[in-house]
Structure 1
Amino acid sequence: MSNSISKDDFNEGPQEYHTGVIAFFKSLPEAGRACAQIFDRGDYYSVHGETARLAAATVFHTNAVIKKRGSGQNQVDTVFLNQSNFETFIRELLLVKQYRVSIYKQQNNKNDWAEEFKASPGNLSQLEDVLFGGSQEQTNNAAVMGVKIASDGSNKTVGVGYIDITSRVLRVCQFTDTENFSNLEALIVQLGPKECLLPHGEAKTRHGACLERNGVLVTERKKTDFSASDAAQDLSRLVRGWSSGSVVARPEMQHSLATGALGAALKYLELTSNEGNFGQFSCSVYDLNQFMRLDSAALKALHVETNDNTGPAVHNTTLLSVLDKCRTSAGHRMMAQWLRQPLLDINQIEERQDLVTAFVESAEMRNSVAEVHLKRVPDLPRIARRLAKKQANLQDCHRLYQCAEVLPDLCESLARYEGPHCATISAVFISPIQESVGDLSKFQEMIETTVDLDQVKQGVYVIKPDFDEELCAIRGSLDTLESQLNSALRVAAADLGLEAGKTIKLEQNGQYGHFFRVTLKDEKSIRNNRAYHTLDTNKAGVRFRNSRVADISAEYSTLMKQYEKQQHKVVTEILAIASGYVEVIQSLSFALTTLDCISALASAAVSSLVPYVRPHMRPRGSGSLHLVQCRHPCLELQDGVSYIPNDTSMGEDNGCFHIITGPNMGGKSTYLRSVATAVLMAHVGSYVPCNEASIPIVDAILARVGAGDCQQKGVSTFMAEMLETSSILKTATRDSLIIVDELGRGTSTYDGFGLAWAISEHIAREIKSYCLFATHFHEVTALAEVLPETVRNFHVAAATSEDTLTLLYQVLPGACDRSFGIHCATIAHFPPKVVEYAKRKADELEDNFAAGDDEDNPDAVVKRRKEKSEGEELIKATLTEASGWKLDNMSDDELEQALCILKSNIVAKDNSYINHLLAVSY
């Protein structure tokens, strides 16, 4: 079908044809801005109002397709969609824009419509075939969670129930939280739900804002849905191994808020309405502290994955796109999950590193696994889910059969590895895969016995005729009829003087059955021939047949229906047997998906321009964070970029709080991000883009990098900055890594500096976590003198000469005590008068003595800085002397005389810095 409506038969049909659907559309209650209603009109679909305008923009990219339909005052914007347009629109709504969708179908009464399907970002099950049908496989997790909150003064208790339909996983989590809901935000980052359910009226609360800020679609439900007692009955049917008598005693049920939230999610997804879901889920208590905490700001600052809804990330612009070299759909989903759930257990991290090391060392194993075997692995979780819900078909069974065929060769490829980590390879991959091979052997035999594998090569999935006696008998009769039809073709060809199979052909379709066809050029051969009956004429030719072919075709159609009915019985039996392998498929899927991710991490490590290295992991609270020649994994892969790496050493004798100053565009932000990204990658189990790395376990990566207005939420740039910073101060521990970039620039200079100093001092003195603090407030560098054991100053190097600024992108020890803003203005070709005026005003507003007019002369700058230091000591001594005066015993004349003597003495020192200050003051 074409991608546009080619026929105007319904586009321009009678207005009364559309009156019923438009009247029904206008009667629908308000469903929210993020909801689209689509009407199934049989051969096409229609959308109206705001949804029509959305479809015009996203599918057709023009408003020309919008039509006015309805009568009188009830006319609304309408867009018509064919099947291809409909599928494109559905994918855009659910997978990209995160909308809810309702599809309505006409009932027996033409003016009566009812909701037939509904879907949301967290509930895609009813539209899976549309979204992921055919060759498309599901690359994103559809997960939904409910949230229920109890407040006791300043204490907030949060209960969360989480459902991942793709993985058939239920989780409950209950914890206390702050006013900013930082723990809830960390949980959202870790689990990555697409949709969240809140009790009615809570979407505009502070926790509702937290959900929206993290890109989660908020759906309000009745408060009575959040009932723990109702959830118990549903869980007894859905969870494997749970019985109605033992549910109440389960540890998961002791968290009443979380269980109530899970109950709301179960009702929303209507899981108990399908018996195929019974006994298919696992349920557990989720520990918020089992993974490293990432806030949403860190997720965005480190470009972990695409953070908008405009589509997939551009290649190599996010950490996910750099590391995700997976070959399976489940692998893509697991890699995204790993990046959101960095490990904290050093043993788990090192086991992943051992596996990655094995694949890095063995190019043969890496290439055979990724390029040969994993490419043939289908979306196993989706097949398991379809089998459990009795929605699978023979094609799903054949895909599983093909996967089972791959497994022995895959195990053989893994077994050929003889390196130091072969025992880990065997335990994690070979043993569970071989166990699955044994479990699936009977399944393979069943498929080979029942499915016609020769027909599969032609894309046809049918049962072998000789498998069932009745099928075999019907197939024999069909073969006889096909022989008679071919004989009838030869007779007709001889009768009409045409060549069988060339100028006259035997064809079949659902409307007419079997018939002959000739081209329009040969139409004269049957003209006025009463032995043949013309069926229709079109540009492809003339379709016709005689009474013998009509009789054979009718008999053939009857037998074919009998064959399909009997085949359906056999297929149903096969699928019932196949559904018993769901647990085997799930176990196999986990092993293969983990293998896919490990192989992907190894491929990323060796395919970089400069290979990554394995980091040495240290226990939490021990050792220092040490990175040699650290690079940013995304930036170094961009075209035209020659990346300059930098070293980092934090903790112990190197201080844990590093202040980085220097010019704009000098690389401060990139330096912060590169360090934090390396730490994140190490906790995932990946190699890191360094020459050498030693990294202690950190419990969180918290970021305050960049700021933008959230006007639609009423949050200014500065307020967004303060909210993020407040969350950091309340969340960070001694073992956290904090990155802060340009804090305080959203308000006045004095307020900004005051905040930057107070916040940095609190982190350095009280929290004592690892912190990289980039700032333009050069005065903050004085904190190193206040806290010399904790704070160190660094700057990004830059060279100036003849009004040019050369950025060196190197991070060096020491503070940068000058600004390069006027140089940047010169490079941007500001008018010379503006630049000169800016210099004069800068001299008035701040002390530029250390740079001076000859700032491009390094020796002169050193000399002037020495003069400044000596001058400041003279000023300090003079003020100390003046502080000893007995002002109560001095007259005004005596005080004036004393000041004149003081000034004369200091002027006599002939210090150029003091002379500069005196000149500026006058």
Structure 2
Amino acid sequence: MATLQPKEQLSLDGASEQGFLAYYGGLPEKPNTTVRVFDRGDYYTVHGQDALLAARDLFRTNSVVKHLGSGNKKLESVVLSRLNFESLVRDLLLVKHYRVEVYKQKSSRNDWDVEYKASPGNLSQFEEVLFGANNELTVTTGVMAVKLAVENGQRVVGVGYVDVTGRLMTVSEFNDNDTFSNLEALVVQLGPRECLIPMGDMGPDGAKLKQVLSRNPLLVTERKRAEFNNKDAAQDLSRLLHKKGGDVLATSARPEMDRTSAIAALSAVIKYLELLGDESNFGQFTMSLYDLSQYMRLDSAAVRALHVEPLGSGEVSGTTAKTHTILGLLDKCRTPLGHRLLQQWLRQPLVDINKIEERLDLVEAVVSSVELRHSLGEEHLRRIPDLNRLARKLARKAGTLQDCYKFYQCAERLPNLCEAIAKYDGPHVASLAAVFTTPLQELLSDLAKFQEMIETTVDMEQANHGEYVIKPDFDETLADLRETMNGLEADIQSQLKKAANDLGLDAGKSIKLESNAQLGYFFRVTLKEEKVLRNNRNYRMIDTNKAGVRFRNSALQNLNDQHMASREEYNEQQKTVVDEIMNIAAGYVEVIQSLGHVLGTLDCIYALASAAVSAPIPYVRPKLLARGSGVLKLQGTRHPCLELQDDVSFIPNDCHFDKNNGMFHIITGPNMGGKSTFLRSVGAAVLMAQVGSFVACQEAEMSVVDSILARVGAGDCQLKGVSTFMAEMLETASILRSASNESLIIIDELGRGTSTYDGFGLAWAISEYIAKEIGSFCLFATHFHELTALADEVDTVKNFHVTATTAHGALTLLYQVRPGPCDRSFGIHVAELANFPPSVIEYAKRKAGELEDDFGGGDDSEEAVKKRKLEKQEGEKIIEEFLNKAAILDIDNQTEDDLLKEIKKLQQEAQACNNAYVSHLLSRQT
């Protein structure tokens, strides 16, 4: 965030200061994740810990912190301009997931009250601050609530979810395991910004529930248990739900009402969002049952591991970070509708092969036509307003003539959009027509009367100049006022020439006549010409900024005052007509929302096609196979984000799974050798394919998977009371409980957080369980080279390694994945790359040699490594024979000297085999 400096100073007289300090001191305690802001008219203030937070995060300095009071009763305070306030609120709500409360003074006394408030999932009262004329609502919003219950000995989870922007309500109720893996998948799919849970002790399940929620970027809010009930749910929902023409089914008879825990959770959200307090919400929402199985399941670890989307406050922002995530990479959308929908698509990859193929058909059609792609991106989609937000404003009767005109313009462009799609004659023409052209034409016919109304009532000529008024011929008084305003505007134009002659400037070039809604008409000159106004009493400056100097003379001031008064009278006179237009426009909310869905889908298809053709190597269409086919073949797969980074020449690799020839791949090799990148590349390809995107491969053939589950990296969660090792155990336990034979599991470096022996034991046991019992696709990268022996015991396990060479004593990473295990560690070589001191490196080599039974003269060539491996295998057989012969010695009937002679003889026999590994071990005897 750019550093912003406060412009106002907090100035209170003694009585006001003491009164505010007393009021502030009497406020109830609040969570640290709630920030209180005080609206003081022309500026805002924050106090106490909130002031320190603003100073640190907004201004990047404590010098802006001032103090009210004295002695021990000093209160930290920071003054915020309107720009500061808007920047702070955006950061708190959209990035940090905090709550914000704005207090306003009710009288001259220190009598403050909460004027409006917001939380990450409920931004409605802050929409104008967050998403004003120059800011689009590209973030998703939504609040969910969770209620736990036990039925017939089963753990039941009830979830209610509300998206106010989309006017959607969702309920879901399901059994879950003790790791809440189903709930976690649901949280990922819905992507709520906030989750409500009941206050108080929820037992062991409550602690686990909070752990699951903490792994996701959302705000957890505790609410009174009494709010989680369905006593009045049917009555409340009957007021909020939209009833279509023939839909007379009573709310209480709807199938969703049978999910009692879910409906109780939904009731908590309705109360939290205060939906019943706003009549514009009545009859506007749709409600549906949510089926987890309709989308691919992703756990939160997979979202992080595959870098699906930015993670929140810790994520880099700005254009440089766009290619750091799959969302940033694919999001070439031109509309806020598309931005939000594409984020939803990435969280909800499809599992129905027919639906995936339909999306791929549409993407292929747009990929195949440069003309269609250019037409959509440059001529049509970029001019589409945020129809969902517009529909909400109209439903709340908060819309304006400008909003109606914006939608009119959108409807006016639709025939040209349909024509552009109709011109396309490549593959999948029928799909484009069915999904886009036909629905758009049907919606256009529904909008015919709306367009006619706007053309009849709105003054189009004035609208083209940014002024939205009713046509003057609609009313005699309006006509008179319009005539007066036209005369004033002509006189105002004449003032430009007079001022230009008076100041010796060129009218329309070095001096301009401009206007806006706040100031009306004014002159403007550049800063370079500002000197002509100095000491000139005939002109009064309004303000100065980088665009120039704004000013008026007395004649323009007088004419402008008359014009603004006439315009105010005109607006007052037309109010009745405008109100009637708004009432009629509110009846088109459902049509606007339907149109928004169609155009949002078109925008997402355009974005996926644009991403496919703009990649360094164009993406290819994946060939999909039915679920359970057990095939995953990726040829020349690349990581779509990494290949876009500067100075990266990406080396592609192949991945081939087949249920008849290996479903569990163990990947070994040096650190930084590309193991993690390979895992993520495969995961990204599968995810993108089931979203409906082309993929970063040379060729791709894959079975549809039901889930992508991951355990990647060793991120500490110490602030949340979870150690590194516990975090990876929780994630792995969730995988083992929720994976099926149609899943893709990605595990990277499991077991590093504990002792070597425990870590290896867990890695072996988990690998064997996945390979034998689950039978899913699994990529398992590990530093335990001994784990490669699992391939000798389980047929479906195959070994691979990332290649590296240590020729001439230097480590060279080749980043290629090849069949077979890697039989050694390259940790010391990596330390050399990191410029460790030579003495440390030498000591490390010596200690490693003592611990690892190293032998063979330190030759790291490929032939020498193979020879050492063979020598070790033969040596282990010789040792086994030695131990077997020693075990049958008659220790009861022989003296100690005789036994020592026998052992010495067996040792000589072993030495006679001339095995280098055995000789190395014997040489280390003490």
Fold-level similarity (TM above 0.5): yes
Q: Distance in 1 between matches of 2:207 and 2:584?
A: 50
Which is worse superposed, 280-289 or 901-910?
Answer: 901-910
Q: Distance in 1 between matches of 2:741 and 2:263?
A: 33
Aligned amino acid, residue 157 of structure 1: V
Check if 1:868 corresponds to 2:876. no
CA separation of 1:416 and 1:81: change in aligned 2, threshold 3 A: same
Q: 1:537 deviation in Å?
A: 14
Which is worse superposed, 705-714 or 663-672?
Answer: 705-714
8 Å Cα contact 1:168/1:281 also seen in 2: yes
CA separation of 1:872 and 1:165: change in aligned 2, threshold 3 A: same
8 Å Cα contact 1:38/1:103 also seen in 2: yes
Instruction: Tell me the alpha carbon deviations over residues 74-109 of structure 1, each in whole angstroms, 9 at most, x when there is no partner.
Output: 431111112111111111111111111111111135
Q: Could you tell me which residue of structure 2 aligns to residue 781 of structure 1?
A: 788
CA separation of 1:445 and 1:512: change in aligned 2, threshold 3 A: closer
- Equivalent positions of 1:353-752 (< 5 A) are 353-477=360-484, 521=535, 523=537, 560-752=567-759
8 Å Cα contact 2:523/2:551 also seen in 1: no
Which is worse superposed, 693-702 or 67-76?
Answer: 67-76
Instruction: Tell me the alpha carbon deviations over residues 568-598 of structure 1, each in whole angstroms, 9 at most, x when there is no partner.
Output: 2221111111111111111111111111111
Aligned amino acid, residue 618 of structure 1: L
Which is worse superposed, 868-877 or 771-780?
Answer: 868-877
Q: CA RMSD in A?
A: 3.4
Q: Could you tell me which residue of structure 2 aligns to residue 529 of structure 1?
A: none
Q: Could you tell me which residue of structure 1 aligns to residue 210 of structure 2?
A: 208
Check if 1:330 corresponds to 2:329. no
Q: Could you tell me which residue of structure 2 aligns to residue 892 of structure 1?
A: 896
If you compute each CA radius of gyration, which structure gives the higher value, 1 or 2?
1
Aligned amino acid, residue 67 of structure 1: K
Q: Distance in 2 between matches of 1:877 and 1:692?
A: 50
Q: Distance in 2 between matches of 1:650 and 1:553?
A: 76
Specify which of 294, 297, 313 is matched with residue 298 of structure 2.
294
Paired residues in the alignment total 904
Q: Could you tell me which residue of structure 2 aligns to residue 273 of structure 1?
A: 277
CA separation of 1:97 and 1:832: change in aligned 2, threshold 3 A: closer
Check if 1:81 corresponds to 2:86. no
8 Å Cα contact 1:519/1:540 also seen in 2: no
Check if 1:901 corresponds to 2:908. no
Check if 1:56 corresponds to 2:51. no
Q: Distance in 2 between matches of 1:437 and 1:541?
A: 46
Check if 1:341 corresponds to 2:341. no
Specify which of 231, 251, 256 is matched with residue 252 of structure 1.
256
Q: 1:418 deviation in Å?
A: 1.6
Q: Distance in 1 between matches of 2:493 and 2:680?
A: 73
8 Å Cα contact 1:34/1:99 also seen in 2: yes
CA separation of 1:282 and 1:512: change in aligned 2, threshold 3 A: closer
Question: Unaligned stretches of 5+ in structure 1?
Answer: 527-533
Q: Could you tell me which residue of structure 2 aligns to residue 235 of structure 1?
A: 237
CA separation of 1:343 and 1:473: change in aligned 2, threshold 3 A: same
8 Å Cα contact 2:807/2:860 also seen in 1: yes
8 Å Cα contact 1:536/1:543 also seen in 2: no
Q: 1:498 deviation in Å?
A: 14
Secondary structure of 2:816's partner? strand
8 Å Cα contact 1:16/1:70 also seen in 2: no
Check if 1:312 corresponds to 2:317. yes
Which is worse superposed, 405-414 or 899-908?
Answer: 899-908
Specify which of 825, 836, 840 is matched with residue 830 of structure 1.
836
Q: Distance in 1 between matches of 2:735 and 2:512?
A: 77
8 Å Cα contact 2:495/2:555 also seen in 1: no
8 Å Cα contact 1:536/1:544 also seen in 2: no
8 Å Cα contact 2:156/2:174 also seen in 1: yes
Instruction: Tell me the alpha carbon deviations over residues 243-277 of structure 1, each in whole angstroms, 9 at most, x when there is no partner.
Output: 99811111010001100110110111111212211
Q: 1:886 deviation in Å?
A: 4.5
8 Å Cα contact 1:519/1:542 also seen in 2: no
8 Å Cα contact 1:202/1:220 also seen in 2: no
Secondary structure of 2:426's partner? coil
Check if 1:915 corresponds to 2:919. yes
Q: 1:493 deviation in Å?
A: 15
Q: Distance in 1 between matches of 2:581 and 2:243?
A: 26
Secondary structure of 1:605's partner? helix
Q: 1:446 deviation in Å?
A: 2.0
Q: 1:488 deviation in Å?
A: 12
Instruction: Tell me the alpha carbon deviations over residues 357-409 of structure 1, each in whole angstroms, 9 at most, x when there is no partner.
Output: 11111111111111211011111111011111111112211211121121111
Q: Could you tell me which residue of structure 1 aligns to residue 27 of structure 2?
A: 28
Q: 1:141 deviation in Å?
A: 1.2
Q: Distance in 1 between matches of 2:143 and 2:542?
A: 53
Specify which of 845, 862, 865 is matched with residue 839 of structure 1.
845
Q: Distance in 2 between matches of 1:655 and 1:224?
A: 54
8 Å Cα contact 2:667/2:780 also seen in 1: yes
CA separation of 1:522 and 1:322: change in aligned 2, threshold 3 A: closer
Specify which of 854, 860, 867 is matched with residue 856 of structure 1.
860
Q: Could you tell me which residue of structure 2 aligns to residue 221 of structure 1?
A: 223
Q: 1:909 deviation in Å?
A: 2.1
Q: Distance in 1 between matches of 2:743 and 2:14?
A: 65
Aligned amino acid, residue 308 of structure 1: G
Aligned amino acid, residue 460 of structure 1: E
Specify which of 791, 801, 804 is matched with residue 798 of structure 1.
804
Aligned amino acid, residue 6 of structure 1: K
8 Å Cα contact 1:520/1:542 also seen in 2: no
Q: Could you tell me which residue of structure 2 aligns to residue 6 of structure 1?
A: 7
8 Å Cα contact 2:630/2:742 also seen in 1: no
8 Å Cα contact 1:617/1:697 also seen in 2: yes
Q: 1:809 deviation in Å?
A: 0.5
Which is worse superposed, 227-236 or 300-309?
Answer: 227-236
Secondary structure of 1:110's partner? coil
Aligned amino acid, residue 832 of structure 2: T
Q: Distance in 1 between matches of 2:118 and 2:482?
A: 42
Secondary structure of 1:658's partner? strand
Secondary structure of 1:305's partner? coil
Q: Distance in 2 between matches of 1:498 and 1:89?
A: 45
Aligned amino acid, residue 96 of structure 1: V
Q: 1:762 deviation in Å?
A: 1.1
Instruction: Tell me the alpha carbon deviations over residues 729-767 of structure 1, each in whole angstroms, 9 at most, x when there is no partner.
Output: 111111111111111111111111111111111111111
Aligned amino acid, residue 254 of structure 1: D
Q: Distance in 2 between matches of 1:509 and 1:369?
A: 32
Q: Distance in 2 between matches of 1:694 and 1:121?
A: 40
When the two structures are superposed, what TM-score results if normalisation uses the length of structure 1? 0.92
Q: Distance in 2 between matches of 1:329 and 1:613?
A: 27
Aligned amino acid, residue 166 of structure 2: S
Aligned amino acid, residue 206 of structure 1: K
Q: Distance in 2 between matches of 1:6 and 1:360?
A: 51
Q: Distance in 2 between matches of 1:666 and 1:210?
A: 32
8 Å Cα contact 1:515/1:545 also seen in 2: no
Secondary structure of 2:747's partner? strand
Instruction: Tell me the alpha carbon deviations over residues 229-256 of structure 1, each in whole angstroms, 9 at most, x when there is no partner.
Output: 2222111011111899811111010001
Q: Could you tell me which residue of structure 1 aligns to residue 528 of structure 2?
A: none
8 Å Cα contact 2:542/2:550 also seen in 1: no
Instruction: Tell me the alpha carbon deviations over residues 824-869 of structure 1, each in whole angstroms, 9 at most, x when there is no partner.
Output: 23333333333332222222212223xx324134444444433333
CA separation of 1:831 and 1:102: change in aligned 2, threshold 3 A: closer
Check if 1:165 corresponds to 2:164. yes
8 Å Cα contact 1:240/1:282 also seen in 2: yes
Q: Distance in 2 between matches of 1:505 and 1:669?
A: 60
Instruction: Tell me the alpha carbon deviations over residues 704-726 of structure 1, each in whole angstroms, 9 at most, x when there is no partner.
Output: 11012112111111111111111
